[in-house]
Amino acid sequence: MNLGKISYGGDWNPEQWDRAVWDEDVRLFKEAGIDFLSINIFAWTLLQPSEDTFDFSQLDEIFALLHANNIKICLATSTAAHPAWMATKYPDILRVDHQGRKRKFGDRHNSCPSSSAYATFAPKLATALATRYQNHPALELWHISNEFGGSCYCENCEKRFRVWLQQQYITLEALNTAWNATFWSQIITDWNEIVVPNQLSVQWSDRGTAMQGLALDFMRFNSENILGMYNLEYDAIKAIIPEAMITTNMMGMYRPLNYRKWAKRIDVIAWDSYPSPNHSAAQTALAHDLMRSLKDGQPFLLMEQTPSQTNWQPYNALKRPGVMRLQSWQAVAHGADAIMFFQMRRSIGAGEKFHGAVIEHSGRSDTRVFQEVAALGRELQQLGNKIIGSRIQSDVAIWFDWESWWAVENSLGPSAGLHYTEEIAKYHTAFHDANISVDMIGPDSSLDQYKILVAPVLYLLQPGVNERIKTFVDNGGTLVTSFLSGVADQNDRVFPGGPPGLLRETLGLWVEEIDALPPEQHNTMLVQNAFGSRSNYEYTCNLLFAIVRLETAETIATYGQDFYAGTPVLTRNQFGAGQAWFVASSPDSNFLNDFVQHLCRENNVQPVMQGVPTGVKVTKRSKDGHDYYFILNHTSSTQTMPLEKPMRDLLSGQTFTGSLKIEARGVLVAEAI
Ligand SMILES: [Zn+2]
């Protein structure tokens, strides 16, 4: 899809309103530069009031109104909440939750992925929609369901899980071996004995299970099974419109679904960004980088963000003036070609009446929020198609693998304080703050284009991963990995010989023990003659402390305290033409900032721009030989920075020579002149 500019709009739910309000909404949309709306998101019962009745009259009217006003449509399929009549007549559509309770009708995201009723009715509705609207000129994009997620533990899911396992393992012997089932006599002697892992069986809580292999396989199965719901509709739509562009909205670092596998079935990535008020700019950037990287850097859609506040956090602070604009441009700076809001008009009742909207309950356009939305709409119109389709180039990749995340957080011990995404975020933040572009890659990604690969807590090694990483380093790449890496195989069985398992040769060391202390208890990292300008420096680290025995690696830093004082906490191994670093603990941000600077210097990895003040972030998107610089001031004061070459801001038309000034929370989209 390409509207000739950055698409601008959001979720519009006219079915909640009288017809007269629709016309007023469209008038306001024109005023705000809105040209792209998601519609039909939760309308299943209106479209299909009974099993044999379809009624598209209202949706026809919505299509006609938007088309007449030159607003393009992202058509959702309405299957994210099933009708009450369906739940009554076909109760197999209701999920069973983690506590083993059968749900009743209500809420959204409520359909069991193994339900035969769902498998009948959802693609039938998608087919009816595709048949009816296939030639409609306003239709740009398909949006299947909405924010897929969760899991189901019903008997149908259990049966399907058994079949899935049988396909994976063929024999029970192979399954029992993979699950190390002799532990606690958990041996399966008949496929029908297998139960889903919830709190009625092996799952102790959200974190920790008696059977790692079972829990890991269920998470794989559940992610695939829910993807199956998407596929039902995807295939139905493509059967009628082979060239249809189809997406569904993801949720960033969302643990239950392995989005890397989903991305293969999605034509354009779309995601919903809801940073908490206390989130750093880097945390939001990480999620954008992850979403962009799912399809090899293809631009994505920011499908939802609030223009002002959410309603589901404990304290729903308003986005301060300028923050919505800044966060919108941040998405574009990291690869978005669409900026969209939830919601266009704030509903008057039910669960989201306190969630922010472009048009508030007042219905007015002279509000702060509406005026900010309209101002951004003017900017996007002015920018036109300049950056549409442009790409970000990165020399650095961070390994982010859902299966390592699942496995390490399903394990009881060694530390309840270990959060996979936080370890990833620490390293990402250091590169982000240095204005170094990062791709977020995983087991299926190519490593060829990268100089540096950072893989914190590379806990689980799928078959072939070790060989690919080894080749990367052997060919001259720089690998950084950390504690709890190389621990387990694809079934979460620890490699004999202990960590780092298959990575031992590449890292040139083995781990004898791993200490785990409360997060507030720190050790020190003593670096000598390693990071250039400062010959000796002391940093802190916490959480986990691998006690390392060196083989071919050399010590770069040592622990300063405890009985392992003087032993290595940072090592480097020359392997082939490359280097492999091991960070044995969870370091502070000062260490990571210095370490990242050192790695980038050694590998000739350059920041996007030099001399960028703290709190200002710069990214670059390129297209047809042109570079576009996104300069974002995340601080609350005006910043000045030097310029190597004169630049023009495409938003204001202002030109800068020698240096540029950027106001608090300001944004420049600049090109060299
Ligand atoms: Zn189910």
> What are the pLDDT digits (tens) for 14-36?
999 999 999 999 999 999 999 99
Q: What is the pTM of this model?
A: 0.98
pLDDT at residue 442 in the model = 97
Q: In this structure, is the dihedral angle defined by the CA atoms of residues 58, 60, 61 and 66, taken in order, positive or negative?
A: positive
CA distances to 3, 41, 256, 438 from 70, in Å: 11, 20, 38, 37
Which residue among 233, 304, 379, 423 is the active-site one? 304
In degrees and rounded to multiples of 5, residue 349 shows phi and psi of -145, 170
Q: Dmax over Cα atoms in the chain, in whole Å? A: 77
Q: Are 465 and 494 in contact (CB under 8 A)?
A: no
Q: Can you tell me the mean pLDDT for 641-657?
A: 96
How does pLDDT run across 454-470, given as a tens digit for each residue? Answer: 999 999 999 999 999 99
Helix, strand, coil percentages (3-state) for the chain, rounded to 5, are: 30, 25, 45
d(Cα 542, Cα 526) in Å, to the nearest integer? 14
Alpha helices (H) along 170-314? 172-178, 212-240, 259-263, 281-293
Q: What is the CATH number of domain 7-153+217-383?
A: 3.20.20.80
pLDDT at residue 263 in the model = 98
Residue count of the chain: 673
d(Cα 369, Cα 22) in Å, to the nearest integer? 20
Give the Å distance between the CA of 143 and the centre of ligand 1: 23
Give the Å distance between the CA of 115 and the centre of ligand 1: 6
Give the Å distance between the CA of 113 and the centre of ligand 1: 6
Q: Under 8 Å CB-to-CB from 163, ≥6 apart: which residues? A: none
pLDDT at residue 206 in the model = 73
How does pLDDT run across 468-509, given as a tens digit for each residue? Answer: 999 999 999 999 999 999 999 999 999 999 899 999 999 999
Q: What angle do CA 478, 480, 483 make, to 5 degrees?
A: 155
Hey, what are 592's tokens? 């990571």
Name the band, by pLDDT with cuts 50, 70 and 90, for residue 668.
very high
Q: Are 144 and 77 in contact (CB under 8 A)?
A: yes
Question: Residue 197's CB: how many other CB atoms inside 10 A?
Answer: 26
Nearest to 629 by CA among 640, 645, 614, 615: 645
CATH topology of domain 616-672: Immunoglobulin-like (2.60.40)
Give the Å distance between the CA of 152 and the centre of ligand 1: 4
Q: Can you tell me the mean pLDDT for 390-410?
A: 97
Q: Are 271 and 287 in contact (CB under 8 A)?
A: yes
Residue 416: helix, strand or coil by DSSP? coil
For residue 345, what is the DSSP state? B
- Establish whether 304 is a catalytic residue: yes
Give the Å distance between the CA of 151 and the centre of ligand 1: 8
Give the Å distance between the CA of 157 and the centre of ligand 1: 4
Q: Are 637 and 607 in contact (CB under 8 A)?
A: no
Strands (E), 508-666: 509-516, 522-531, 534-550, 554-559, 568-575, 578-583, 585-587, 616-623, 626-633, 639-642, 647-649, 655-656, 659-662
d(Cα 150, Cα 110) in Å, to the nearest integer? 9
Average pLDDT taken over every residue of the chain: 96
Name the band, by pLDDT with cuts 50, 70 and 90, for residue 528.
confident
pLDDT at residue 517 in the model = 98
Q: What is the CATH number of domain 396-602?
A: 3.40.50.880
- Listed as own residue / partner, the contacts of 23-31 with beta carbons closer than 8 Å and 24 or more positions apart are 23/65, 24/363, 25/344, 25/345, 25/359, 26/65, 26/66, 26/69, 26/71, 28/358, 28/359, 28/365, 28/370, 29/69, 29/71, 29/344, 30/69, 31/365, 31/374
Name the band, by pLDDT with cuts 50, 70 and 90, for residue 212.
very high
- Strands 647-649 and 667-672 come out as antiparallel
Q: Under 8 Å CB-to-CB from 57, ≥6 apart: which residues? A: none
Q: Can you tell me the mean pLDDT for 4-9?
A: 97
- Helix axis angle, 323-333 relative to 368-383, nearest 10°? 30
pLDDT at residue 342 in the model = 98
The helix (H) or strand (E) run that includes residue 479 is strand 478-482
Give the Å distance between the CA of 256 and the centre of ligand 1: 15
Share of the chain above pLDDT 70, in %: 99
d(Cα 10, Cα 342) in Å, to the nearest integer? 6
Which residue among 147, 233, 372, 379 is the active-site one? 147
Hey, what are 295's tokens? 């399809």
Give the Å distance between the CA of 263 and the centre of ligand 1: 23
Residue 622: helix, strand or coil by DSSP? strand
Nearest to 196 by CA among 95, 77, 278, 106: 95
Q: Which residue type does 245 have?
A: M
Half-sphere exposure of 123 (CA within 13 A, CB side): 19
Q: Can you tell me the mean pLDDT for 626-630?
A: 98
How does pLDDT run across 99-134, given as a tens digit for each residue? Answer: 999 999 999 989 999 999 999 999 999 999 999 999
pLDDT at residue 191 in the model = 98
How does pLDDT run across 33-86, given as a tens digit for each residue? Answer: 999 999 999 999 999 999 999 999 999 999 999 999 999 999 999 999 999 999
Q: Can you tell me the mean pLDDT for 326-353?
A: 97
pLDDT at residue 533 in the model = 58
Indicate where the chain has its CATH 2.60.40.1180 domain(s): 616-672
Nearest to 354 by CA among 323, 317, 303: 317
CA distances to 23, 263, 265, 612 from 224, in Å: 42, 12, 11, 43
Give the Å distance between the CA of 222 and the centre of ligand 1: 10
d(Cα 550, Cα 216) in Å, to the nearest integer? 32
How does pLDDT run across 363-388, given as a tens digit for each residue? Answer: 999 999 999 999 999 999 999 999 99
Q: What angle do CA 414, 416, 419 make, to 5 degrees?
A: 100
Q: Under 8 Å CB-to-CB from 267, ≥6 apart: which residues? A: 244, 245, 246, 247
- Establish whether 409 is a catalytic residue: no
Indicate where the chain has its CATH 3.20.20.80 domain(s): 7-153+217-383
In degrees and rounded to multiples of 5, residue 410 shows phi and psi of -85, -10
d(Cα 275, Cα 327) in Å, to the nearest integer? 9
Q: Under 8 Å CB-to-CB from 91, ≥6 apart: which residues? A: none
d(Cα 94, Cα 86) in Å, to the nearest integer? 10
Task: Answer whether residue 534 shows pLDDT above 70.
Answer: no
Report every protein residue that has its C-beta within 5 angstroms of ion ligand 1: 112, 114, 152, 154, 157
Q: Are 488 and 512 in contact (CB under 8 A)?
A: no
Indicate where the chain has its CATH 3.40.50.880 domain(s): 396-602
How does pLDDT run across 422-443, given as a tens digit for each residue? Answer: 999 999 999 999 999 999 999 9
Name the band, by pLDDT with cuts 50, 70 and 90, for residue 532.
low
How does pLDDT run across 90-101, given as a tens digit for each residue? Answer: 999 999 999 999
Q: Can you tell me the mean pLDDT for 398-412?
A: 96
